[in-house]
Amino acid sequence: MLSLIWSLIVILFLIWLVLLLLKVGGAIIYLLLVAAAILFIIQFFTRK
């Protein structure tokens, strides 16, 4: 489960980075960043 969450975080971060470099997306960039942050927080608190 943790590897799945980390994979999602990395994928969302890479998509955000590509969209930022291409200057595309506007609000989508921030939505992806917030989603990655939420996944990171969930993973941080569910760690044993």
- The pLDDT value given to residue 12: 80
Task: Dump pLDDT digits (tens) for 4-44.
Answer: 878 887 888 888 788 777 777 667 767 777 888 888 888 88
Indicate the Cα dihedral angle 33, 38, 39, 43, nearest 10°: 140
Cα 48 to Cα 37: distance, rounded to the nearest angstrom: 19
| Tokens 């939505």 belong to residue | 31
Whether 48 has a pLDDT exceeding 70, the answer reads no
- The pLDDT value given to residue 42: 86
Annotated domain spans of the chain? 2-46
Helices (H), 1-48: 2-22, 27-46
What is the end-to-end Cα distance of the chain in Å, rounded?
12
